[in-house]
Amino acid sequence: MKMCSYLRNILLLVLLNEIHLHTAHGQLSDDYTGHSNADSDENAFDPHNLLKYYATSQTTKEEEVYVFPPLSRLDPGDVGTIVSVELSPGRWFDRITRAVKPPIFEIPDFLSDEECDHIINSAARNGLGTSQIYGEDNEPDPNTQDIFRVSQQTWLNRNNLGGMFLDNLQNKLSTLLNLSKEIIKGSESMQVVNYLPNGHYHAHLDSTRNTGNKPCCFQSSCPTPPGPECCRICRYATVLYFLNNVDGGGETAFPLADADENTMTRFLEGGNLAHQWRNLSNFCHNSSVVIGPKRGTAIMWYSHLMEAETNYLGEIDDYSYHGGCDVTKGTKWIANNWINAATYNERFVKSIWVD
């Protein structure tokens, strides 16, 4: 009896080895390294039909091919819609739609006072430095002396925040956004920002347009901090937390949210309109969406569209321009969690943030 199962195991091993050898040059491994003409291949990965994908592959090795999880997107409904969502077991939160284009949501009390303090204290312990803008220096505008981003910032990871805190937050984010935990874990660290009076961040996009064929920074080995000559940012969504109540000012404003197409066209032409609207020291309260900084509130929005045919990262969403208005009194603390996502063509490339 013993001998019999021994022989069977040997037979199994030989068989598995055979399968392994046959798959070494198979369809899937080619896709992984080449990610070239997968689209024209009849066995190409179709995110809508995982079953077909597994059924048509001829080997047992497909599990080893990495595929970035497909995205999803929350339906905002109409402005003012409130949906009650259970973000951790037994804990329900209101998710309020503040805009439709792009979908912008406000989630009051997303973080508790203790959690806000924990983030602020961890940032202070880590030390903050002058904030920069991706790929640009932050020198004053020679005409107006205006500085685009005036704040101090730092990055916090698992070591700073603690494993339990981060796991809990990542679970909540995954549920809020309806995105796989893997996408959340594979995203950038948390950025904490502190503004003093006159501190602000004029209206900007959190992500970059898909021009040229630069890889996404979170999938590349570009130097830190990465610059536009090496990679693009690829932040599908932003979750911004207000960590304290501000004595004056410090709203987050979206000057183009739900704007009509005509306005957007004029804005994108640049010139005066764009210049005026982006300067939130002046334009803050003319913005279509202005959210006052309230401790514990999270704001969530998408900076990219989702590509409809593939469910991967689509075009940048110009309606997502936003920024932080001047703090007029006191200090303002926020934190950003940027959720990185892959394009369809780069779906076989892992995030550098996961092992």
Out of 189, 252, 311, 343, name the contact with ligand OGA by CB under 6 A.
252
The stretch among 43-51, 91-99, 258-266, 317-325 that binds ligand OGA (CB under 6 A) is 317-325
Residue 249 makes contact with ligand OGA by CB under 6 A: no
Per-residue HEC secondary structure of 72-130 comes to CCCCCCCCCCEEEEEEECCEEEEEEEEEECCEEEEECCCCCHHHHHHHHHHHHHHCCEE
Dihedral angle of Cα 265, 269, 272, 273, to the nearest 10 degrees: 20
Residue 280, contacted partner among Fe ion, ligand OGA, none, CB below 5-8 A by kind: none
Query: 204 with 322: CB under 8 angstroms?
Result: yes
Out of 214, 323, 333, 343, name the contact with ligand OGA by CB under 6 A.
323
Region of 80 please: left (phi>0), alpha (psi -120 to 50) or beta: left
Alpha-carbon distance values, 313 to 109, 205, 351 (Å):
29, 15, 14
Residue 317 makes contact with ligand OGA by CB under 6 A: no
- Tokens representing 353? 């943030």
Residue 324, contacted partner among Fe ion, ligand OGA, none, CB below 5-8 A by kind: ligand OGA
In this structure, what are the phi and psi dihedrals at residue 280, rounded to the nearest 5 degrees?
-75, -10
Query: 268 with 321: CB under 8 angstroms?
Result: no
Alpha-carbon distance values, 293 to 102, 202, 320, 332 (Å):
20, 16, 18, 8
Least Å distance, CB 208 to ligand OGA, is 13
Q: Binding marks (x or -) toward Fe ion, 202..221, rule CB under 5 A?
A: ----x---------------
Helix (H, G, I), strand (E, B) or coil at 336: strand
Residue 106 makes contact with ligand OGA by CB under 6 A: no
Out of 71, 99, 150, 193, name the contact with ligand OGA by CB under 6 A.
193
Closest to ligand OGA by CB, 278 vs 322, is 322
Out of 97, 219, 303, 336, name the contact with ligand OGA by CB under 6 A.
336
Least Å distance, CB 134 to ligand OGA, is 10
Least Å distance, CB 202 to ligand OGA, is 10
Residues 6+ apart with CB under 8 A from 328: 197, 247, 248, 249, 250
Residue 314 makes contact with ligand OGA by CB under 6 A: no
Closest to ligand OGA by CB, 314 vs 324, is 324
CA 343 to chain centre: 13
Residue 241 makes contact with ligand OGA by CB under 6 A: no
Q: Binding marks (x or -) toward ligand OGA, 201..240, rule CB under 6 A?
A: x----x----------------------------------
Residues 6+ apart with CB under 8 A from 180: 69, 174
Least Å distance, CB 131 to ligand OGA, is 8
Closest to Fe ion by CB, 31 vs 206, is 206
Which residues would be at the binding site for ligand OGA (CB under 6 A)? Answer: 193, 201, 206, 252, 322-324, 334, 336
Which residues would be at the binding site for Fe ion (CB under 5 A)? Answer: 206
